[in-house]
Amino acid sequence: MSRWQYLLKRILLAVPVVLFGVTITFLIVRLGPIDPAAAILGPTSTSGAEAERIREQLGLNDPLWEQYLQYIWNLVTLNMPNSWVISPGTPSFDLILIYLPRTMWLGFWSVLIALFVGIPLGFYAGLNPNTSGDYVASFSGIVWRAMPNFWLAVILVSILAQSQDLLGFEWATFLVETNIVTPPSLDFLKQPLTLLTSPGESWPELLAATKQIAPAALVLGSSSMGNEMRIGRTAVLETINSNYVETARAKGLPERTIVWKHVFRNALIPLIPIITSEAFILISGSVLVELVFAINGMGYLFYQASLQGDLPLVGALMYITIVLLVSVNILQDILYTVVDPRVGIDQN
């Protein structure tokens, strides 16, 4: 089986996974204890003509199979009905487009922190075992991994709120003026070319958005950073003591060539599933971190929609989340074929 056949097979297998996920979502929300009519009218108005009229209007009195088929068709055509409770009259996908960029911006910086801090530290510790640098990096990774996100978020907000006394400078006015807890302004993303055509106007907005999201990204990426550091260290230690590395040394290859051509590439193989799975978690956002820093992204929106039984919005959110998860898994398979040429090739 060639690489392309392998990837095509993985993509085709993703279709039933998405269908199963959205089906389970529909059953949990529709057959659960939450009554959308009660969420709209209030918990004390679950009966009466008005509640019955709303159920009829929303199609809740239709047979379950008919509701399901309509639900699947709306997802396939990207035409989910308007939100029932959170923002009545607003299309579900339009509402998601308001909240999604904030979570993607948070996830982007969280992934960068985890990748460009955790992996280099892990590889450094693995290449220099039992040294002071190894001990410091390993201890730091364990500490970062052990701290709960919600606790670290609260502590960081408290420190930034008292930054003048604790750090010697005022965080709110550092570089550019921003609030500590508020959604970042991402207006510059609507016209990304202005970063090049009008840098004097757009770059301050980019700097402000980056500064605004930095504390939350540090909190969200910290646990992944520590995890990737520990696994990266272990992978390097296992690879550097392997037979083919010893053979390369015996042939007289320079240490730099051995590290980059043999150790680095092979040590990435066990890291790929860790990186992709954690990237999905970071990009999907964290409800607690978003709540503490008032990011108001996808996590916050999904939490509110689930509590209030907003079926169109929950369905659209889960659909996007499942597609994102499947896409990350496919990306993982692509990375496997790049790093390890043996993937997807029959060994018969």
Per the prediction, the chain carries an average pLDDT of 80
Based on the number of CB atoms within 10 Å of its own CB, is 128 exposed (0-12), middle (13-18) or buried (19 or more)? middle
Cα 326 to Cα 12: distance, rounded to the nearest angstrom: 11
**Interval 187-210 mean pLDDT:** 74
Is pLDDT of 125 > 70?
yes
What is the per-residue pLDDT for 108?
Answer: 85
- Indicate the range of 98-102, 131-135, 259-263, 342-346 predicted with least confidence: 342-346
Look at residues 212, 209, 219, 269 and name the one whose alpha carbon lies nearest to residue 242.
269
- Band (22; pLDDT cuts 50, 70, 90): confident
Number of H helices, E strands in the chain: 18, 0
What is the per-residue pLDDT for 348?
Answer: 46
What is the rounded end-to-end Cα distance, in angstroms, of the chain?
Answer: 11
Q: Using the 8-state DSSP alphabet, how is residue 261 labeled?
A: I
pLDDT tens column, 47-97: 667 777 777 777 777 888 888 888 888 888 877 778 888 888 888 888 888
* CATH assignment, 99-299: 1.10.3720.10
> Are 310 and 60 spatial neighbours (Cβ–Cβ below 8 Å)?
no
What is the per-residue pLDDT for 285?
Answer: 57
Cα dist from 134 to 138, 141, 206, 224, whole Å: 6, 11, 36, 18
Higher confidence at residue 337 or residue 321?
A: 321
Higher confidence at residue 32 or residue 109?
A: 109
What is the per-residue pLDDT for 2?
Answer: 66
Would you kindly state where each structural domain of the chain is located, as residue ranges? 1-85+308-331, 99-299
pTM attached to this predicted model: 0.78
pLDDT tens column, 285-321: 577 888 888 888 888 888 888 777 787 888 888 888 8
Cα 256 to Cα 262: distance, rounded to the nearest angstrom: 10
What is the per-residue pLDDT for 343?
Answer: 58
Percent of the chain, pLDDT > 90?
0
Is pLDDT of 234 > 50?
yes
pLDDT tens column, 152-197: 888 999 998 888 888 888 888 888 888 888 888 887 777 766 666 6
- Indicate the range of 36-40, 210-214, 331-335 predicted with least confidence: 36-40
What is the per-residue pLDDT for 1?
Answer: 57
> Are 40 and 84 spatial neighbours (Cβ–Cβ below 8 Å)?
yes
What is the per-residue pLDDT for 68?
Answer: 87
Higher confidence at residue 200 or residue 18?
A: 18
Task: Fill in the amino acid letter for 57.
Answer: Q
What is the per-residue pLDDT for 252?
Answer: 84
